[in-house]
Chain A
Amino acid sequence: MKIIYTDVLIIGGGLAGLRVATGVKERGHDTIVLTLVPPKRSHSSAAQGGMQASLANANMGEGDNEDVHFSDTIKGSDWGADQEVARMFTHCAPKAIRELAAWGVPWTRVQKGDHTAIINAKKVTINESDEAHGLITARDFGGTKKWRTCYTSDGTGHSMLYAMDNKAQQEKVVVHERLEAIALIHENDRCYGAVARNLMTGEMVAYVAKATTIATGGYGRIYSVSTNAIICQGIGQAIALETGVATLGNMEAIQFHPTAIVPVGILTTEGCRGDGGLLLDKDGYRFMPDYEPEKKELASRDVVSRRMTEHMRKGKGVKSRYGDHLWLDITILGRAHIEKNLREVKEICENFLGIDPAVDWIPVRPTQHYSMGGIRTKFTGESQTLKGLYSAGEAACWDMHGFNRLGGNSVSETVVAGMLVAEYISDFCDTKESGININTSVVEDFIQIEEDKITALLTKDNGEDAYVLRRRMESIMMEKVGIFRNGDDLQDAVDELEELCKRAKNIEVFRSKSRAANPALFNAYRTQKMLKVALTVAYGALLRTESRGAHSREDFPMRDDENWLKRTITTWPDVNQTLPTVSYEDIAITNMEIPPGFRGYGKDQTTVHPESETRQSVVDTITQKLEEDGADRFEIQNALMPFIDKLPKKYQGINERLGENV
Chain B
Amino acid sequence: MSEDNNPRILEISILRFDPNDPNDFPHMETFKVEEADGMTLFIALNEIREHNDNSLKFDFVCRAGICGSCSMLVNGKPTLACRSLTSKMDKHITLAPLPLFELIGDLSIYTGKWMRGLNEQLETWIHDKEVELNVDKLEERMEPALADEIYELDRCVECGCCVAGCGTIQMREDFVGAVGLNKVARYHLDPRDKRSDEEYYEIVGNEDGVFGCMTLLGCEDVCPKDLPLQSKIAYLRRMMITTALKN
Interface residues of A (CB under 8 A from B): 37-43, 45-46, 55, 94-99, 101-104, 106-111, 133-137, 152-153, 155, 158-159, 162, 166-167, 169-170, 175, 177-178, 200-202, 229-231, 263-264, 266-267, 321, 340, 344, 347-348, 351-354, 467, 509-512, 514, 516-520, 523, 651, 653-658, 662
B128 at interface by CB-CB < 8 Å = yes
Asked if B143 contacts A104 (CB within 8 A), the reply is: no
Asked if A169 contacts B119 (CB within 8 A), the reply is: yes
Query: How far apart are B232's CB and chain A's nearest CB, in angstroms?
Result: 15
- Rounded to whole angstroms, the CA-CA distance of A658 and B138 in the bound complex is 8
| 5 tightest Cβ-Cβ pairs between the two chains A and B | A38-B112, A134-B141, A512-B55, A520-B54, A95-B135
Q: Give the residues in chain A near B158, CB-CB below 8 Å.
A: 38, 40
B120's nearest neighbour on chain A, judged by CB, is A169
Query: How far apart are B87's CB and chain A's nearest CB, in angstroms?
Result: 8
Asked if A654 contacts B85 (CB within 8 A), the reply is: no
Q: Give the residues in chain A near B38, CB-CB below 8 Å.
A: 263-264, 352-353
Chain B residue total in the interface (Cβ 8 A): 65
Question: Which of A109, A155, A169 contacts B141, CB < 8 Å?
Answer: A109
- Rounded to whole angstroms, the CA-CA distance of A344 and B66 in the bound complex is 8
A466's nearest neighbour on chain B, judged by CB, is B54
Given the interface pairs A109-B143, A348-B65, A519-B49, the reply to whether A514 lies near B55 with Cβ below 8 Å is: yes
Asked if A98 contacts B62 (CB within 8 A), the reply is: no
A169's nearest neighbour on chain B, judged by CB, is B119
Query: How far apart are A19's CB and chain B's nearest CB, in angstroms?
Result: 13
Asked if A40 contacts B115 (CB within 8 A), the reply is: yes
B61 at interface by CB-CB < 8 Å = yes
Interface residues of B (CB under 8 A from A): 1, 18, 20-21, 37-38, 40, 49-50, 53-57, 59-69, 83, 85, 104-105, 108, 110-113, 115-116, 119-120, 123-126, 128, 133, 135-144, 147-148, 150-151, 154-155, 157-158, 190, 192-193
Asked if B65 contacts A38 (CB within 8 A), the reply is: no
User: Of B1, B113, B115, B144, which is in contact with the most chain A CB atoms at under 10 Å from its CB?
Assistant: B144
User: Of B69, B125, B193, which is in contact with the most chain A CB atoms at under 10 Å from its CB?
Assistant: B125
Question: Which of B18, B123, B151 contacts A170, CB < 8 Å?
Answer: B123
Asked if A352 contacts B83 (CB within 8 A), the reply is: yes
Asked if B125 contacts A158 (CB within 8 A), the reply is: no
Query: How far apart are B222's CB and chain A's nearest CB, in angstroms?
Result: 15
- Rounded to whole angstroms, the CA-CA distance of A104 and B105 in the bound complex is 35
Question: Which of B67, B104, B151 contacts A200, CB < 8 Å?
Answer: B104
Asked if A102 contacts B61 (CB within 8 A), the reply is: no
Asked if A109 contacts B147 (CB within 8 A), the reply is: yes
Asked if A46 contacts B62 (CB within 8 A), the reply is: yes
- A109-B142, A178-B110, A229-B67 known, 14 other contacts, Cβ within 8 Å: A38-B111, A38-B115, A41-B68, A43-B62, A97-B139, A108-B147, A135-B138, A152-B154, A153-B151, A159-B154, A169-B125, A177-B110, A467-B50, A651-B135
Question: Which of B40, B65, B139 contacts A135, CB < 8 Å?
Answer: B139
Asked if A108 contacts B139 (CB within 8 A), the reply is: no
Query: How far apart are A470's CB and chain B's nearest CB, in angstroms?
Result: 10
Query: How far apart are B244's CB and chain A's nearest CB, in angstroms?
Result: 27
Q: Give the residues in chain B near A351, CB-CB below 8 Å.
A: 65, 83, 85
Q: Give the residues in chain B near A519, CB-CB below 8 Å.
A: 49, 54-57
Cross-chain pairs A/B with CB under 8 angstroms, 29 sampled: A38-B112, A45-B157, A95-B135, A95-B136, A97-B139, A98-B137, A98-B138, A102-B126, A102-B192, A135-B138, A152-B147, A155-B66, A158-B154, A158-B157, A159-B151, A159-B154, A162-B154, A230-B60, A340-B148, A351-B85, A352-B38, A354-B85, A511-B54, A514-B55, A519-B56, A519-B57, A520-B54, A655-B136, A656-B136
- Rounded to whole angstroms, the CA-CA distance of A106 and B62 in the bound complex is 23
Asked if A104 contacts B192 (CB within 8 A), the reply is: yes
User: Of A162, A202, A520, which is in contact with the most chain B CB atoms at under 10 Å from its CB?
Assistant: A162
Query: How far apart are A263's CB and chain B's nearest CB, in angstroms?
Result: 7
- Rounded to whole angstroms, the CA-CA distance of A37 and B20 in the bound complex is 19
Asked if B61 contacts A166 (CB within 8 A), the reply is: no
Query: How far apart are B140's CB and chain A's nearest CB, in angstroms?
Result: 7
- Rounded to whole angstroms, the CA-CA distance of A427 and B125 in the bound complex is 28
Given the interface pairs A169-B116, A177-B113, the reply to whether A98 lies near B66 with Cβ below 8 Å is: no
Q: Give the residues in chain A near B57, CB-CB below 8 Å.
A: 517, 519
Question: Which of B49, B64, B136, B144 contacts A110, CB < 8 Å?
Answer: B144
Question: Which of A102, A178, A200, A352 contacts B140, CB < 8 Å?
Answer: A102
B70's nearest neighbour on chain A, judged by CB, is A41
Asked if A41 contacts B69 (CB within 8 A), the reply is: yes
Query: How far apart are B15's CB and chain A's nearest CB, in angstroms?
Result: 16
Binding site secondary structure of chain B: loop
Asked if B155 contacts A41 (CB within 8 A), the reply is: no
- Rounded to whole angstroms, the CA-CA distance of A598 and B34 in the bound complex is 52
Query: How far apart are A619's CB and chain B's nearest CB, in angstroms?
Result: 28
A341's nearest neighbour on chain B, judged by CB, is B148
Asked if B37 contacts A321 (CB within 8 A), the reply is: yes
Given the interface pairs A95-B135, A109-B142, the reply to whether A103 lies near B68 with Cβ below 8 Å is: no
A352's nearest neighbour on chain B, judged by CB, is B83
Q: Give the residues in chain B near A352, CB-CB below 8 Å.
A: 38, 40, 64-65, 83, 85
Query: How far apart are A653's CB and chain B's nearest CB, in angstroms?
Result: 4
Query: How far apart are B52's CB and chain A's nearest CB, in angstroms?
Result: 10
B40's nearest neighbour on chain A, judged by CB, is A352
- Rounded to whole angstroms, the CA-CA distance of A97 and B190 in the bound complex is 17
Q: Give the residues in chain A near B62, CB-CB below 8 Å.
A: 41, 43, 45-46, 229
Query: How far apart are A479's CB and chain B's nearest CB, in angstroms?
Result: 20
Q: Give the residues in chain B near A134, CB-CB below 8 Å.
A: 141-144
Given the interface pairs A46-B66, A133-B141, the reply to whether A37 lies near B112 with Cβ below 8 Å is: yes
- Rounded to whole angstroms, the CA-CA distance of A344 and B37 in the bound complex is 22
Query: How far apart are A371's CB and chain B's nearest CB, in angstroms?
Result: 17
Query: How far apart are A241's CB and chain B's nearest CB, in angstroms?
Result: 24
- Rounded to whole angstroms, the CA-CA distance of A166 and B156 in the bound complex is 13
Asked if B37 contacts A106 (CB within 8 A), the reply is: no
Q: Give the residues in chain B near A511, CB-CB below 8 Å.
A: 53-55
Q: Give the residues in chain B near A106, CB-CB below 8 Å.
A: 142, 147-148, 150-151, 154, 190
Given the interface pairs A46-B62, A230-B61, the reply to whether A512 lies near B151 with Cβ below 8 Å is: no
Query: How far apart are A104's CB and chain B's nearest CB, in angstroms?
Result: 5
Given the interface pairs A231-B61, A347-B65, the reply to whether A41 lies near B55 with Cβ below 8 Å is: no
A419's nearest neighbour on chain B, judged by CB, is B135
Given the interface pairs A40-B115, A321-B37, A517-B104, the reply to whether A104 lies near B65 with Cβ below 8 Å is: no
- Rounded to whole angstroms, the CA-CA distance of A475 and B7 in the bound complex is 25
- Rounded to whole angstroms, the CA-CA distance of A493 and B108 in the bound complex is 36
Q: Give the residues in chain B near A43, CB-CB below 8 Å.
A: 61-62
Asked if B123 contacts A518 (CB within 8 A), the reply is: no
- Rounded to whole angstroms, the CA-CA distance of A158 and B152 in the bound complex is 12
User: Of A321, A512, A519, A658, which is in contact with the most chain B CB atoms at under 10 Å from its CB?
Assistant: A519
Q: Give the residues in chain B near A512, CB-CB below 8 Å.
A: 53-55
Query: How far apart are A128's CB and chain B's nearest CB, in angstroms?
Result: 10
- Rounded to whole angstroms, the CA-CA distance of A98 and B192 in the bound complex is 13
B153's nearest neighbour on chain A, judged by CB, is A106
A36's nearest neighbour on chain B, judged by CB, is B61
Asked if B140 contacts A166 (CB within 8 A), the reply is: no
Asked if A662 contacts B138 (CB within 8 A), the reply is: yes
Given the interface pairs A170-B123, A510-B54, A654-B136, the reply to whether A177 lies near B104 with Cβ below 8 Å is: no
Query: How far apart are A566's CB and chain B's nearest CB, in angstroms?
Result: 35
Query: How far apart are A13's CB and chain B's nearest CB, in angstroms?
Result: 10
Given the interface pairs A37-B61, A37-B69, A99-B135, the reply to whether A516 lies near B124 with Cβ below 8 Å is: no
Q: Give the residues in chain B near A354, CB-CB below 8 Å.
A: 1, 85
Asked if B138 contacts A348 (CB within 8 A), the reply is: no
Asked if B61 contacts A41 (CB within 8 A), the reply is: yes
Q: Give the residues in chain A near B110, CB-CB below 8 Å.
A: 177-178, 200
Q: Give the residues in chain A near B147, CB-CB below 8 Å.
A: 106-109, 152
